Structure 1
Amino acid sequence: MLASLTLSFPLALALPISWHDHLSVAQQMHRLRAQQGHNNRTHAAIFFERWFCYLDTFGACSGNVYHGCPQEWPSELLAAEKDPELKCLTGYTTSSLLLLARVAEICKRCDRERKELGSPSYTTINESQQIRLSLELTSLEVQQRRYDRVCSSTIFSADVYLGVNVALCHAALIMLLRRAFLLPTDAMLLQHSAKTILTALRDGERYNPITIPDIILPLFLAGCETKDQVQRSDVLRRLERIGNAGMSQTTRVRALLQECWDGRKDWTELDHNVFLG
């Protein structure tokens, strides 16, 4: 939870410790607890495990300063990969979160193997193709499925959660296509995903951005890939609304976007430590 505080409010603790250091400590604690093999896990422990998996995924998607560990997630989460139901806490399915975590992992592996071997290994290429197929199928399935009962306690319509899940799937596709398959920004698949993200998140605009599920990563990637000035302004406006609601890390996200646009830099080549979640 201290890591969560550091992520949302970077200066909250007034201590010289970064979000990725906080999250690395949480990762070590999670691993040690799993190795102890607790059989009588409380509801609180299960909640913290799921929340760690959320932070672990988005931390791994935020540059190269933190490496996720989806292979060490709780067994019931891994077993629930095919569960099609949206989760009211996060706004997306377990399957989508796992796919995003695996995309982050495979992208880092591709980067490492290109540096060490000149190109990704056959195994890595094969896994990348399998993940791409799973993502494309998931994104189609999500848009066709009805979510009339997302969570009995939520005040939001199913359309908001559906939009977040669609946006997350296409954010994962953008990461995979750009970093693993090295597609250029002007590729039709990437432009389609960027446009789909902005369209999918439109339903959430009428709600308080501090209480809807996290949408910063999809917004950032859509902003990086789009060449349309109107869409870029739309991304900045949405991020500003999230920042005004209290999520102060969006200031750094907006600055990173502006750096990409002004300097015509490729986001895949930026060396940064901004948390995109």
Structure 2
Amino acid sequence: MLFPTAPDYFLRTMISAAMETPHLLYALLAIACSHHGRLVKDSTPKPKMTCLKYTNLAISNLRETIKSQDQSLKAETVTTAMVLCTNDVCNGNMQAWRTHLRGVLRLLAARLEHQKDFDATEEPFIWALTKWFKTMDIIAALSGFDGVCIHDPGNGPLDKSPSTENVYIDDICGYSLVLIPLLARVSELVRLQSLRHVPSGIDSSNGPSLETMVEIGALETKILSLSDKIAPSGTEEKDKHLAIELKSTHLAFVHTALLHLHRRVQLLPTHHSKVRLDIENILDALNNIQPSSPANILILWPIFSAGCETTIVTERDMIQERMTKMQGLGMGNFTRARELLQRFWESESNLPWDIYFAQHGLELVLF
């Protein structure tokens, strides 16, 4: 459910490893319990208690495991930490996910640094775990007012990607990995611009500097140059329709990157032609994905971002309808994102969404 376009080996390897690894099995049972509770809309304490039981078992087993350096370097150990982190994000546990994500980074970096000659093509599962971490990290950074990545995209042991990754849309993330360093720079510019905000919103005299405007133009060009990426051949062979939808998920990310650049860095108003074009392009990509398609799961960040920036009722209705369908599949963050989006709309606030949520102590990760 979380990775609907992932290659078969990803799920097969994880399930096979869990049968031999108690802490991973417990972590997967915990996230399955959370998902099932949302799927059947069980509001009793039972799902939460069951999830907590398996979470505690996973954590206690994991703590014992990482006492041994050999065990801590195993892919299964990294996977358990990543599953626990993902479950925290889906359940809205904002404090725990940060701790777990930092733990994943330490484990993953140690694993990759230990194996100096790491080859992503020869160890695809480790590379898949790396992509899982990287996409959560960058989306978490872009989901808030002052978020930053906890790793440096494009400059470290987590970036030993095969050259073919530059050609294709990634089937784990739903967008080209070449986009990640650009997203990270957008996030950093958002953070720098936020330091210039006044408490009540945005001071129009505190717009981006000339130097930043030059960089915005360069980023626009780089981001748009990635629009023509294609799905990997394996996805094309397995499901041609899904391969087409993967192209649309990628385009949704491209245009959402531009939307954040224009609204949160350049500070253009919502009615500006560039902002309107970004929103329309995101919704066009959304329209090319069937409402019932699992590919929708990959694009919570684009859907939510467009929803926060549009004031047009028909566009809001379309976004609400699509998010409701995903919520019906038991996807936890669609539930929380939909609630916060509705709250923002009802507030009729003139504040940008990130400032509004920050001022009200609201936080979510759009993963």
- Counterparts in 2 of 1:1-277, with a 5 A limit? 1=82, 2-10=84-92, 17-33=95-111, 36=114, 38-40=116-118, 42-64=123-145, 66-68=147-149, 69=151, 70=153, 71-72=155-156, 74-77=158-161, 83-112=166-195, 124-139=212-227, 142=228, 149=233, 151=235, 152-154=237-239, 156-209=241-294, 212=296, 214-265=298-349, 266-270=352-356, 271=358, 272-277=362-367
Which is greater in Rg?
Answer: 2
Following TM superposition, by how much is the alpha carbon of 1:180 offset from its aligned partner in structure 2, in angstroms? 1.2
Following TM superposition, by how much is the alpha carbon of 1:32 offset from its aligned partner in structure 2, in angstroms? 4.6
Q: Is the 8 A contact 1:3 1:19 kept in 2?
A: yes
Q: Is the 8 A contact 1:91 1:213 kept in 2?
A: no
Deviations 1:210-255, CA, capped at 9 Å, x for gaps: x555111111111111121011011111111111111122222112
Deviates more, 1:1-10 or 1:178-187: 1-10
Between the aligned partners of 2:196 and 2:112, the Cα distance in structure 1 is 30
* Residue identity opposite 2:259 in structure 1: I
Following TM superposition, by how much is the alpha carbon of 1:61 offset from its aligned partner in structure 2, in angstroms? 0.9
Would the alpha carbon gap of residues 191 and 120 (structure 1) be closer, same or farther in structure 2, given more than 3 Å must change?
A: closer
Uncovered stretches (5+) of structure 1, i.e. residues with no partner: none
Q: Is the 8 A contact 1:114 1:120 kept in 2?
A: no
Between the aligned partners of 1:46 and 1:156, the Cα distance in structure 2 is 25
Deviations 1:181-221, CA, capped at 9 Å, x for gaps: 11111111111111111111122225433x55511111111
Q: Is the 8 A contact 1:178 1:268 kept in 2?
A: no
Between the aligned partners of 1:138 and 1:193, the Cα distance in structure 2 is 15
Following TM superposition, by how much is the alpha carbon of 1:157 offset from its aligned partner in structure 2, in angstroms? 3.5
* Residue identity opposite 1:174 in structure 2: L
Root-mean-square deviation (CA, aligned residues, Å) is 3.0
Q: Is the 8 A contact 2:132 2:172 kept in 1?
A: no
Uncovered stretches (5+) of structure 2, i.e. residues with no partner: 1-81, 199-205
Following TM superposition, by how much is the alpha carbon of 1:128 offset from its aligned partner in structure 2, in angstroms? 3.3
Number of aligned pairs? 265
Between the aligned partners of 1:67 and 1:229, the Cα distance in structure 2 is 32
Between the aligned partners of 2:188 and 2:128, the Cα distance in structure 1 is 23
TM-score by length of 1: 0.82
Q: Is the 8 A contact 1:167 1:200 kept in 2?
A: yes
Following TM superposition, by how much is the alpha carbon of 1:38 offset from its aligned partner in structure 2, in angstroms? 3.8
Would the alpha carbon gap of residues 109 and 52 (structure 1) be closer, same or farther in structure 2, given more than 3 Å must change?
A: same
Q: Is the 8 A contact 1:89 1:213 kept in 2?
A: no
Q: Is the 8 A contact 2:252 2:282 kept in 1?
A: yes
Deviations 1:2-44, CA, capped at 9 Å, x for gaps: 1112222347xxxx94333332332344445555564346433
Q: Is the 8 A contact 1:178 1:184 kept in 2?
A: yes
